[in-house]
């Protein structure tokens, strides 16, 4: 008997994951029996447009304090099932109280957003409510970690609050934009869906707003717990230590400069086993950023990715790296920088897109940082990118180089073409000899060590131990002071 066939035009689409209710989301986020709610009976005072008959207790948001993995936190969860989760004056006051509590308690803030936006019936009061939240987001920036979880709609002015926080976790079905599809259609005539305008795919690959994306809403809450496990409760507190296994991998890279590889394998060979949490993995993926642990201590990792655009830096990669460096510096995470880059991306589009201005952000972030910083040059470190990627002269505490490293103004091929143009024209067969001579005389890491641009040549196998030897005394000397905010890029 022939196998039955399924008509793809009539087959049911896969069911969308069911979003948890506000109370279910809260229960999944915080430790059991730790939540202390405030404002449970608060009601809006708007009487326009029949709103006097719609005054639900709590005004569409659940707020309070709790513990997350036995550490204090301030939390709010919007309830889209009540008045569409819209924000009015009372709703905003409750969230503002959460942020004020976080400031007083010096603890992280986690906000779960799912809202229809500003409550139209309340007019300017709703807009002022958003403004009061934004001001507090800015006041807390760099002082306590702020994490936004987008489970549904985050539209209009509401989108600015998560953009002001340190990190955004976004569900695959959620969306975030300033102006929705209907407004776009009426103003520009463009036909676009909510997903195409501001879905998780857009924000994880194109805008760079979403740091982490989950396939199911319930996956967001353990991810938030994991993120918080790397961060202190505030910039004044010590880092949380969680000891784990040493890595089983031996970090290594191909010796041939043009051969690609995945730098994340090098990272995993240096940090504690299963401790690397990459952020913004699909955005500007020519640079890799993320949290990890080394001997139990949280660290921030910034690495060029030779698998993508040969590891060149461009405008997006510079901004992505810069904000991560500033976040790590704000909260006291030491920085590990792994360098393998041929330079900045050339071309008119990069220049007109502001590669000088935007590239300077990464330079500024590293030069400004006060946390312990170690750089390891794996292979290529050419030109301005060598300087920008946490070089010794902009403040790295130690710079190490592997035997495969080449450090100079440019690669041998380009340099030989410029320096020996006439010789090559007369005798093309001398190219390889000239390349070898240039590498030995201008790009050798021994030259960099003799001039103290590099502190030492080390083997891949001893790299982890050398990094830890640098970090340990410097972390003991650290003064837990507020450094700076974590301004959006």
Q: Give catalytic residue positions.
A: 156-157, 384-385
Per the CB < 8 A criterion, the answer to whether 478 and 332 are in contact is yes
- Would you report the helix, strand and coil content of the chain in percent, each value rounded to 5? 40, 20, 40
108 sits in which H/E element: none
Per the CB < 8 A criterion, the answer to whether 300 and 366 are in contact is no
Report residue 144: phi and psi, to 5°. Answer: -130, 145
The strand pairing partners of 298, in sequence order, are: 293
State how far the Cα of 263 lies from the Cα of 247, in Å rounded to an integer. 15
Where are the alpha helices (H) located in 312-375, listed in sequence order? Answer: 315-330, 348-352, 355-368
CA 190 vs. chain centroid, Å, equals 31
Per the CB < 8 A criterion, the answer to whether 339 and 386 are in contact is yes
Per the CB < 8 A criterion, the answer to whether 280 and 320 are in contact is yes
State how far the Cα of 470 lies from the Cα of 400, in Å rounded to an integer. 11
Nearest to 302 by CA among 279, 332, 272, 282: 279
State how far the Cα of 355 lies from the Cα of 270, in Å rounded to an integer. 31
State how far the Cα of 52 lies from the Cα of 357, in Å rounded to an integer. 52
Half-sphere exposure of 75 (CA within 13 A, CB side): 27
Nearest to 298 by CA among 86, 475, 63, 119: 475
State how far the Cα of 310 lies from the Cα of 165, in Å rounded to an integer. 31
Q: What is the CA radius of gyration of the chain?
A: 26
């Amino acid at each position: 008997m022939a196998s039955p066939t399924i008509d793809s035009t009539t087959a049911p689409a896969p069911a969308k994951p069911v979003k948890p209710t506000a109370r279910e989301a809260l229960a999944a986020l915080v430790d059991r029996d730790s939540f202390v709610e405030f404002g449970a009976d608060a009601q809006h005072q708007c009487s326009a447009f029949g709103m006097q008959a719609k005054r639900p207790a709590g005004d569409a948001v659940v707020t309070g304090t709790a513990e997350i993995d036995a550490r204090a936190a301030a939390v709010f969860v919007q309830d889209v099932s009540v008045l569409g989760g819209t924000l009015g004056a009372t709703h905003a006051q409750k969230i503002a109280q959460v942020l004020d509590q976080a400031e007083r308690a010096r603890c992280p803030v986690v906000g779960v957003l799912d809202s229809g936006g500003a409550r139209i019936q309340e007019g300017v009061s709703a807009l002022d409510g958003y403004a009061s939240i934004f001001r507090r987001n800015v006041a807390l920036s760099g002082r306590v970690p702020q994490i936004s979880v987008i489970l549904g709609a985050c539209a209009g002015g509401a989108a600015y609050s998560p953009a002001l926080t340190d990190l955004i976790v976004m569900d695959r079905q959620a969306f975030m934009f300033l102006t929705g599809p209907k407004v776009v259609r009426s103003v520009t005539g463009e036909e676009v869906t909510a997903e195409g305008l501001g879905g998780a795919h857009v924000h994880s690959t194109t805008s760079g707003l979403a740091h982490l994306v989950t396939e199911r809403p319930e996956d967001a809450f353990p991810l938030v717990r994991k993120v918080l496990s790397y961060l202190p409760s505030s910039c004044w507190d010590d880092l949380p230590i969680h000891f784990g296994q040493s890595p089983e991998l031996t970090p290594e890279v191909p010796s041939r400069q043009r051969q690609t590889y995945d730098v994340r394998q090098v990272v995993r060979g240096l940090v504690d086993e299963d401790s690397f949490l990459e952020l913004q993995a699909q955005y500007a993926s020519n640079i890799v950023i993320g949290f990890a642990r080394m001997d139990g201590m949280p660290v921030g990792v910034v690495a060029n990715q030779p698998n993508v655009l040969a590891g060149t830096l461009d405008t997006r990669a510079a901004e992505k790296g810069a904000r991560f460096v500033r976040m790590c510096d704000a909260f006291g995470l030491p920085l590990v920088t792994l360098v393998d880059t041929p330079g900045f991306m050339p071309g008119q589009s990069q220049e007109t897109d502001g590669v000088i201005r935007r590239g300077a952000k990464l330079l500024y972030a590293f030069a400004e940082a006060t946390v312990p910083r170690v750089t390891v040059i794996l292979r290529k470190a050419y030109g301005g990118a060598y300087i920008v990627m946490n070089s010794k002269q902009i403040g790295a505490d130690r710079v190490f180089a592997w035997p495969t490293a080449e450090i100079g103004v440019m690669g041998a091929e380009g340099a030989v073409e410029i320096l020996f143009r006439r010789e090559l024209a007369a005798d093309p067969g001398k190219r390889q000899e000239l390349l070898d001579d240039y590498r030995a005389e201008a790009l050798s890491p021994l030259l960099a060590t003799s001039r103290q641009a590099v502190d030492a040549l080390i083997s891949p196998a001893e790299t982890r131990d050398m990094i830890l030897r640098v970090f340990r005394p410097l972390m003991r000397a650290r003064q837990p002071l507020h450094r700076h905010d974590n301004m959006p890029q």
